[in-house]
A and B are shown apart, each in its own frame.
Chain A
Amino acid sequence: MSEIKPNESAPAPGEDNGEEKDWAAAKAFFDNLKTHKPRPPKPRFAVTIAVSSRTLFNMVAERKIYEEEGVEKYVAYQLEHESEPLKPGAAFPFVKALMNVNSRLRELYPDSEELFDIVLMTNNHAQVGVRLINSINHYDLTIERFCMTGGQSPIGYLKAYMTNLYLSKDSEKVGEAIEEGIAAATMFMPKTEMELSDTQLRVAFDGDAVLFSDESEIIVKKHGLDTFFEHEKEFENKPLAQGPLKCFLEALGKLQRKFYAKNERMNCPIRTFLVTARSAASSGARVLKTLRSWGLEIDEALFLAGAPKGPLLQKIKPHIFFDDQMFHIEGAKELGTISAHVPYGIGQKYNRGKLIEPEKKE
Chain B
Amino acid sequence: LQALQKVNERLLEENPAESLLFDVILITTDSQQQQQSSRVISSTRHYGLEVSRFCFSSEEDFIESLQKNNVKLFLTTDTNEVTQASQTGVVSVLLDQQTAVCSSEQLRVMFCGDAVIRPDTGPMPLTRQAAQSFSTQLGEMRQKFGMFDSPLSFILVTSHGGRESCRGALQMLRSRGVSVDEAYCLAGAPRGPMLSLLQPHFLLRDGYSGLEE
Contacts and interface: CB of A to CB of B under 8 A. Distances in A.
A and B: real partners? yes
A124 to B, nearest CB: 9
A318 B183 CA distance: 33
A39 interface: yes
A22 interface: yes
Given A22-B190, A29-B160, A160-B193, A125 B170 contact: no
A145 B190 contact: no
A40 interface: yes
A144 B187 CA distance: 6
A22 B181 contact: no
Contacts of B161: 26, 29
Given A22-B186, A75-B147, A126-B156, A144 B179 contact: no
B159 A22 contact: yes
B188 A159 contact: no
- Interface size class of chain B, counting residues whose CB lies under 8 Å from the partner chain: 35 or more
A18 B192 contact: yes
Given A34-B213, A126-B156, A160-B194, A151 B148 contact: yes
A42 B194 contact: no
A133 B197 CA distance: 23
Contacts of B159: 22, 25-26
Contacts of B179: 127
Nearest to A119: B189
Nearest to A20: B190
B182 A149 contact: yes
Nearest to B174: A127
Contacts of A159: 193
Nearest to B183: A126
Contacts of A161: 189
Main secondary structure of the interface of B (DSSP, over half): mixed
A40 B192 contact: no
A161 B182 CA distance: 16
A15 interface: yes
B213 A126 contact: no
A218 interface: no
A152 B181 CA distance: 11
A43 B189 contact: yes
A156 interface: yes
A157 B189 CA distance: 12
B129 interface: no
A136 interface: yes
A133 B163 contact: yes
A203 to B, nearest CB: 25
B146 interface: yes
B160 A133 contact: no
A39 B146 CA distance: 37
B182 A152 contact: yes
A125 B183 CA distance: 8
Contacts of B180: 126-127
Contacts of B213: 29, 32-34
A19 interface: yes
Contacts of B164: 133
Given A71-B147, A145-B187, A160-B197, A19 B192 contact: yes
Interface of B: 114, 146-148, 153-154, 156, 159-167, 170-171, 174, 179-194, 197, 213
**What 3 A-B pairs are tightest by C-beta distance, nearest first?**
A26-B188, A144-B162, A126-B183
Given A18-B190, A22-B159, A126-B180, 14 more contacts: A18-B192, A26-B161, A30-B188, A37-B162, A126-B181, A127-B174, A129-B166, A129-B167, A134-B167, A145-B162, A146-B163, A146-B166, A146-B183, A147-B183
15 contacts: A29-B114, A29-B165, A30-B162, A30-B188, A39-B188, A40-B187, A43-B190, A127-B180, A129-B183, A130-B167, A136-B163, A146-B184, A148-B182, A159-B193, A160-B190
